Structure 1
């Protein structure tokens, strides 16, 4: 595994831990100002910019506070010199939801770019499969 891949794996793991803790400042860290997010609920055109990304999280944190999990199951990273992508599967749901559908995973895709020697998340896509 290259040093860039290790850095990105660490960045995404820190991000997921911050989401699980409900730490908004840590969730926003390492994101580009011009971030684009495609998210599970509408709007289907996505969210653009860090301010819009910030607004997505409080309702999720409120839901998660009722005992939901947000745990990385698998994470794969491919890094070039200044761009990279990663994809992950996460256990995301309440204990009841996960017990009813134990194989259900949240799918995440990240697009990253290196700016001034630092990796930033420039794109996220979150989705659940349709039955």
Structure 2
């Protein structure tokens, strides 16, 4: 597989793991030094894999009530040892999309290649305001 294909597979697998509430798979391809800026606080983000793991359980509980988490579009740019990717996701309940059909979660990843393997070192989630 090309680097782009590897990264697409990594992100698709991450999204499936998030939707399934599988914390081990969610964290599997993240660096120990990952930084994440998320929709809910803390506003300074979370730093390190241990802190990253702590923020997911409340989201899994919320999502288990019937929310979607589906990648709609994904773009990847890969260099030799660093890459970035950005995506739009349907993240919410059916009534959320009835009220605002165009609302999408925006997602950005920064990745680096460690020992021939792509790992996520930066993750950013946001919703547009308005």
Normalising by the smaller structure, the TM-score range is over 0.9
- 1: CA distance between counterparts of 2:100 and 2:91? 11
Match in the other structure for 2:51: 52
TM-score normalised to structure 1 length: 0.98
Give the C-alpha shift of residue 99 in structure 1. Answer: 1.5
- 1: CA distance between counterparts of 2:86 and 2:117? 19
Deviates more, 1:97-106 or 1:84-93: 97-106
Give the C-alpha shift of residue 98 in structure 1. Answer: 1.6
Which 4+ residue blocks in structure 1 deviate beyond 2 angstroms?
none
Give the C-alpha shift of residue 100 in structure 1. Answer: 1.1
Give SS of 1:57's match: helix
- 2: CA distance between counterparts of 1:34 and 1:72? 25
Give SS of 1:66's match: coil
- 2: CA distance between counterparts of 1:36 and 1:28? 12
- 1: CA distance between counterparts of 2:23 and 2:97? 25
RMSD: 0.8
Post-superposition Cα deviations, 1:79-109, rounded to whole Å, max 9, x if no partner, equal 0000000000000001111221111000000
**Matched pairs, number:** 130
Q: Unpaired runs of 5+ in structure 1? A: none
Post-superposition Cα deviations, 1:43-81, rounded to whole Å, max 9, x if no partner, equal 110000001100110000000011000000000000000
Match in the other structure for 2:101: 102
Match in the other structure for 2:32: 33
